[in-house]
Chain A
Amino acid sequence: KAGVTQTPRYLIKTRGQQVTLSCSPISGHRSVSWYQQTPGQGLQFLFEYFSETQRNKGNFPGRFSGRQFSNSRSEMNVSTLELGDSALYLCASSLVSGTRSYEQYFGPGTRLTVT
């Protein structure tokens, strides 16, 4: 079974621009979560989508947004980029069955550099 895929793997943007990152979950996984990893703040939860609805949201400004499509693929968008948005953005998917959630599996990440 194919793992979680993320595109692009590397991205360089300029301050003020916007960016869209994509994540394809493991087949059959309907929950997709996004995390930001930086040397200073570590791994921080951004948001989670299940059945095309945002279920949980971390403590990030409104410039960070996301969505999920009917095939469970997800995108996240960052508008008006700031230097501090430079990070590795990780996507994770998990299986959800009834009220039970299972462990999260991560993709390789998208390395975003803002100049």
Chain B
Amino acid sequence: DAGVIQSPRHEVTEMGQEVTLRCKPISGHDYLFWYRQTMMRGLELLIYFNNNVPIDDSGMPEDRFSAKMPNASFSTLKIQPSEPRDSAVYFCASRDRGSGANVLTFGAGSRLTVL
């Protein structure tokens, strides 16, 4: 398995532009998580899905952020409009159903820079 795949790996955009980050979880994983990592705030859980349904989006910073999971193999995190304070590394992770515990497999991340 290729693991959790995220794209793009790097994105540089200007303030006010729309940003879409993409994630393909590991086949068969039933949970998908979006995290954001910054030096100041560390790793923050933004939202997670179970069987494509959003379960908890309490970590989403504000209405500019939205996430969808239209099917079991694809999820997007959208920021519209983007702001410089959104600059961070965004990670997608999926849960190993077979582990019997909440063990996550992470993607390599998408580094976002908003100028």
Report whether chain A binds chain B: no
Footprint of B on A, CB under 8 Å? none
